[in-house]
Amino acid sequence: MTEQKDTLLTRPSWIEIDLGAIQENAQSIMAHAGAKRLIAVVKADGYGHGATPVANALYEIGVRDFAVATIGEGIKLRQELAYQDYRIVLLGVQDIAHVDVMVKYRLSPAIESIDWLSVALQAIPEGATLDVELAVDTGMGRMGAHSKEAVYSVYRYIKNNDKLELGGVFTHFATADDSNIGYYKQQAQRFNDWVTAAGIPRQYWHLANSGSALWHTQEIDTRTIRVGSVLYGYNPGAPLLTLPIPLKHVFALKSRIGAVHQLITGESVSYGATYTAQKPQWVATLPIGYADGYLRRMAGMRVLINGKVTYVIGRITMDQIVIALDQAYPIGTEVTLIGRDGDNEITVEEFADYANTIPHEILTSFGPRLPRIYKK
Ligand SMILES: *Cc1c(COP(=O)(O)O)cnc(C)c1O
């Protein structure tokens, strides 16, 4: 925390994360989906929020399963979390060369084939076990056993091997957060058929990503849910679908005015001189730019100052942006780039929409130069 504060003081642009809101969102989505267990997806550094503080906050409310994408993310979490009695699932395809590391740090890889497992066995020391998650590809096309027979034979192989432990069986939906119900139902049906035929008990099943836990609780088993987006408080189906439950906003992006100037009529701002003052115009410079994840295509975006709306003018540069002012403001005045200020709010969804992308991409693009400040 001290280190964060020092960094903040030297360059006043930062991210605020509300960990209490993450805890509340976890509880809300479990209640809504009727879930007994939650696997918290904290890949990509907790969708940009900081995997370790997020996982610690969720541990406090009883979460004991976390999911990341890479071995590196898994090791970091294992080393940094204050507790030890929890699982770490690796969601992506993993290089067979690093099975020893997975055993050492007790990481549970998603696996899809007997080929992979048979090579893995040679790297598991006597007396040790590798906890694995059986991935089933029902239509996402990224990874997983891809037929009834494949699911059956991989499951048998795990059961018949002392060095292998089954942690879970899962699939991932391609269309949980859009209106393509037909494709969703086909995936759900395949999982149900294949996994039931293999005889894998229900306690191992986890299918629901955020979209499923929000909008498909009737179509699939939701006793265990495996979610990311909803924890971080945004709508993965925006703008097409509306949320069935309220989620608390978690993320805010803020900066402070570093310099204030008055342009005279005809003067311009930033590279390319794309913005020109039509009358005497107060402007302020903020110490944040596209190298921080305030993307170049955010030129013209809304920002909030003293609860009022104003705009980014001219081009976004690597480290600085310029905003229009209605009057001179003191150096150090706080500006909200994402979040609430008085009656106005800029949501992550609005920000992403302006950038022509989805909130996931925006949140994972904010760089390490921006300190994360945590509150509860
Ligand atoms: C990223 C990911 C999730 C979480 O998805 P959300 O839509 O953010 O809830 C769940 N499962 C898998 C396999 C993933 O890759």
List, in order of start, the domains of the chain with CATH numbers.
19-232 (3.20.20.10), 251-346 (2.40.37.10)
Round to whole Å and give the CA distance between 98 and 116: 12
Of the candidates 104, 159, 271, 308, the residue annotated as catalytic is 271
- Pairing of β 372-375 and β 344-346: unpaired
CA of 322 to the centre of ligand 1 (A): 36
CA of 349 to the centre of ligand 1 (A): 18
Q: What is the pLDDT of residue 7?
A: 60
- Pairing of β 302-305 and β 334-341: antiparallel
Q: What is the pLDDT of residue 3?
A: 52
How far from each other are the two terminal CA atoms of the chain, in whole angstroms?
Answer: 14
CA of 280 to the centre of ligand 1 (A): 50
DSSP state of 136: B
CA 180 to chain centre: 23
Q: What is the pLDDT of residue 5?
A: 56
Q: What is the pLDDT of residue 2?
A: 46
Round to whole Å and give the CA distance between 80 and 187: 36
Strand partners, 260: 284
Residues 6+ apart with CB under 8 A from 194: 136, 138, 145, 147, 148, 151, 152
Strand partners, 334: 256
Round to whole Å and give the CA distance between 66 and 226: 9
Which of the residues in the chain have pLDDT under 70? 1-9
Name the token pair of 100: 């020893």
Round to whole Å and give the CA distance between 79 and 81: 6
What residue numbers does the annotated binding site cover? 142, 318
Name the token pair of 357: 């992308």
- Pairing of β 13-18 and β 372-375: parallel
- The rounded mean pLDDT for the chain is 96
Helix, strand, coil shares of the chain, percent, nearest 5, are 35, 25, 40
Q: What is the pLDDT of residue 1?
A: 42
Q: What is the pLDDT of residue 297?
A: 97
CA of 237 to the centre of ligand 1 (A): 13
With a Cβ cut-off of 6 Å, ligand 1 is lined by: 41, 43, 91, 172, 209-211, 226-229, 236
Ligand 1 atom having least distance to the Cα of 177? 7
Ligand 1 atom having least distance to the Cα of 47? 8
CA dihedral 120, 169, 143, 158 (to 10 degrees): 30
Ligand 1 atom having least distance to the Cα of 230? 9
CA of 49 to the centre of ligand 1 (A): 16
Instruction: Give the residue from 172, 145, 159 showing the smallest Cα distance to 201.
Output: 159
Among 66, 172, 205, 349, the mutation site with the greatest number of ligand 1 atoms within 8 A of its Cβ is 172
Ligand 1 atom having least distance to the Cα of 69? 15
Among 38, 88, 91, the mutation site with the greatest number of ligand 1 atoms within 8 A of its Cβ is 91
The answer to whether residue 271 is catalytic is: yes
CA 318 to chain centre: 24
The alpha helices in the chain, defined as continuous H runs, are 2-10, 19-33, 43-47, 51-60, 71-80, 99-104, 114-123, 148-159, 181-198, 210-215, 348-354, 359-363
> For 24-58, what is the HEC assignment?
HHHHHHHHHHCCCEEEEECHHHHHCCCHHHHHHHH
What residue numbers does the annotated binding site for substrate cover? 142, 318
The 3-state DSSP class for residue 97 equals: helix
Round to whole Å and give the CA distance between 135 and 154: 10
